[in-house]
Structure formats: C-alpha cells, structure tokens
Amino acid sequence: MIIPEKPEIPYENLQMIIESAFNGLKIFNILKISLEMKIFDTLSHEHTLTELSSKLGMDNLLCFYILEALLKIGLVDKTGDFYQNSKLAEIYLKSDSEYNRTNCILSLEENAGLWNSLDQTLQGNLERKEEAFFPNIIQVMAEDCIAGELQETVNLVEKYTEFHDSKSLLDLAGGHGMYSIAFSKINPDIECYVFDLPEVLVETRKYIKKYESNVKTVPGNFYKDDFAGTYDMIFSSYNPGGKNPDIAKKAYESLNLNGLFVNKQYFPENENKTLEEVLDNLEWNFTNFEKSLKGETRYSFKGDLSFQEYLDYLKELGFEVIDVHHIDHLNPSFGTVSRNKMIIAKKVR
Ligand SMILES: C[S@@+](CC[C@H](N)C(=O)[O-])C[C@H]1O[C@@H](n2cnc3c(N)ncnc32)[C@H](O)[C@@H]1O
C-alpha cells in the first residue's frame, strides 16, 4: 500500500483546537478540586509544597503539579519554596472573603454534566428542571452581583433625585434581595420590598438578616399575581419577565405617578457572532422544554419584546425613557460576556 502524501493542511490546525478545549477541562477541574480541598483557604498563609501536601493528605508530586498549574494561571504566587494565594485568589476564592465566588464556580458543574453527556442531553434525556430558581442559584446570583455589578448599579440609581424622593421600592424578582438591601442602606427613608416566589424568599430572608436590613418580602408569582400595592419605584434585575409586555404593564399599574421603573436586562442583539455566544445559546436550549417559558436565545423567554419594541411599549404605556445605561459583566450562570442594558423610565402619565 502506498503511503499517502503529507496532507495539504497541517494536522496541528486541528490539534490546537483539541488542546485548547481539553486544557480548559483540566483547568476547570483543578480549580474545582482546589476549592473543594480548600487550598485557597490554606494558602492564605505561605506553605511549602511538603507542608501543603501533608495538610491536604495529597501525594507530594501531584500536589506539586497542581500548585504549578495554579501558579501558571495566576491564582498562586511562589517566593522561593513558598506558595501563597495571588491577590486574585485571595479576593475571590478564599471562603471567608466577602467577594467569594465559590458557588459561582461550582455551580458550573451542573452545566458541565449536561455537556459531558451530550448524547443524552441532545435527546432531551435530562432530569426535568422546573423554571423556579433553587437556593444555590440565589447564592450564585448574590455572589456574582456583590463582586461589582451591585455597586455599579446602585451608584447609577442613586444619581436620580426620584430615588432619594421615593418612600417605597419594589424589587421585582429580587431573589437574594441584595439590591434592596443596598438601596435601603443608602436611603434609609425608602421601604424596600423584595417580590419573589415564596420558596425563594426563604433565602432572601437569610441575606436580609445577614446584612441587618429592614427590607420586607412579598411572596408572589409575577405572571399570576399583582404586585401587592403601589410603589414610588420599581426595580428589576435579570427578571425572566423583564422583557415581557404584560409584566411591564403590571409595573406601570403598580407605580405611582412620577415614579421610576428601573429595569436591568439582557436584550439579545446580533446573537451568534462569536463561538462563545453560539455555545451559550446551545446550552440555554439544553433545558428548553415544551412547557418551559424559555425562548430560543439565551436569557430570553416566550413573549419577550426586542429592545426597541420594549422601549416603544414603555412609551405607549405612559413612561418617558430617561436613560439607558450599558452594564457589561461576565455572567457565571450562563457563561461569557453579556451586554446588559439598564432602562430608566419615568411614569409621566
Ligand atoms: C436571574 S434571578 C435575578 C435575581 C436578582 N434580581 C439579580 O439580579 O441578581 C431571577 C429571579 O426571578 C425570580 N422569578 C422567576 N420567575 C418568577 C415568577 N414567576 N414570579 C416571581 N419571581 C420569579 C427567581 O426566583 C429569581 O429570584
């Protein structure tokens, strides 16, 4: 048999794709085991390899390579024989840090499971998840926003005089309630109410207690229930109904005249331009069931309006759109970059 000519395209072109994919998997698992074994808690203080491996009960050589990998990705520093957390790990990976992101990272394991059994996932053979959010998702959202988006959002909102003049604020689908907790710290005269599903509010109350806040909770399903009164302000962040005209109408009806409706949302636009967007959209559809209210594009739901349609609808209802702020953050639950918009609309009639 004749040996074929060398192919016209080098195999390295393919191998590079495989390498980078597989290295991502290795790094994710190193990060996961490091969190599970509390390596970043231990490395808050300097340790030699032997000190660390004996504390963790890990083989010395394997521990060496894990540490060297963490060093290469910038999560550990090395001075002489001593390893210690880098600043990045110290802020975000130490379990007692107020910016700890352990839940954000470990929550990705569930998504990893869907990818690891892609044959089953593509056939829809998954444990059918309800659309309701589970307690750990609330923790993930809280951890995520506290690392910057919360402060950025609150700084923007407090620039509006209407916020300082408000006596009541409804945090629609407020989840953890961190936004309300922060608003009421800045303006103690404002009564904040977190509206969410009853089972979620159990978690909300834990955050209210932790931050010694007087924020109140209102149980309800925004698709079925009204918002239990009228408010001077309605705030909503990544609310699954945040692009839905019926929910916008309910917000309008529950807002006092001259009140602000602040709505922070991901509005899909020019989707699928990058590989990351395609992967996100594919993953979003892994759990898009017949009865689910999810739309076909990430973070979208059935009946959603496009950004322009939503703005037009707000005006039709009787809002003046005062500002649109762009908020760009990486999102842990859904992956990669999301380009979010925060609409500030005032009820003028
Ligand atoms: C992505 S989380 C956003 C949480 C928080 N506002 C934030 O931005 O971090 C979406 C929230 O919507 C709530 N939610 C979903 N469907 C709901 C419904 N039908 N009625 C009330 N709340 C709902 C969830 O329980 C969850 O707390």
The CA distance from 170 to 219, in Å, is 12
- The maximal CA–CA distance of the chain, rounded, in angstroms, is 86
Mutation choice for ligand 1 from 193, 205, 238, 239, CB with most ligand atoms inside 8 A: 239
The CA distance from 51 to 99, in Å, is 27
pLDDT at 133: 58
- Phi (first) and psi of residue 170, to 5 degrees: -105, 125
The CA distance from 216 to 192, in Å, is 6
Short-list 269, 248, 268, 267, CA closest to 345: 248
Ligand 1 pocket check for 145: Cβ under 6 Å: yes
Residue spans per domain, the chain: 12-91, 135-347
Ligand 1 pocket check for 277: Cβ under 6 Å: no
pLDDT in tens, 20-62: 999 999 999 999 999 999 999 999 999 999 999 999 999 999 9
Indicate the CATH number of 12-91 among 1.10.3480.10, 3.40.640.10, 1.10.10.10, 3.20.20.150: 1.10.10.10
pLDDT in tens, 98-129: 999 999 999 999 999 999 999 999 988 766 55
pLDDT in tens, 205-235: 999 999 999 999 999 999 999 999 999 999 9
Q: How far is CA 274 from CA 16, 242, 271, 332, 336, in A?
A: 18, 25, 8, 18, 10
Residues 6+ apart with CB under 8 A from 146: 98, 99, 178
Ligand 1 pocket check for 197: Cβ under 6 Å: yes
The CA distance from 203 to 125, in Å, is 30
CB 43 within 8 Å of CB 85: yes
pLDDT at 335: 53
Q: Residue 329: which pLDDT band, with cuts at 50, 70 and 90?
A: confident
Short-list 327, 310, 194, CA closest to 243: 310
Q: Distance, CA 293 to ligand 1 centroid (Å)?
A: 13
pLDDT at 332: 58
Element (H, E) at 342: strand 335-347
pLDDT at 131: 52
pLDDT at 208: 98
pLDDT at 23: 97
The CA distance from 207 to 146, in Å, is 12
Q: What is the mean pLDDT of residues 180-207?
A: 97
DSSP class of residue 97 equals S
Q: What is the mean pLDDT of residues 136-143?
A: 91
CB 234 within 8 Å of CB 261: yes
Q: Distance, CA 238 to ligand 1 centroid (Å)?
A: 7
Task: Check if CATH label 1.25.40.10 holds for domain 135-347.
Answer: no
Q: Residue 198: which pLDDT band, with cuts at 50, 70 and 90?
A: very high
pLDDT for residue 83 is more than 70 = yes
Q: Which stretches of the chain are DSSP H helices? A: 12-36, 39-42, 49-56, 60-72, 87-92, 102-106, 108-116, 118-122, 135-144, 150-157, 161-165, 178-186, 198-210, 245-253, 275-286, 307-317
Ligand 1 pocket check for 200: Cβ under 6 Å: yes
**Summary mean pLDDT of the chain:** 93
pLDDT in tens, 287-306: 887 777 899 998 899 999 99
Ligand 1 pocket check for 331: Cβ under 6 Å: no
Q: What percent of the chain has pLDDT over 70?
A: 95
pLDDT at 283: 92
- Phi (first) and psi of residue 344, to 5 degrees: -110, 110
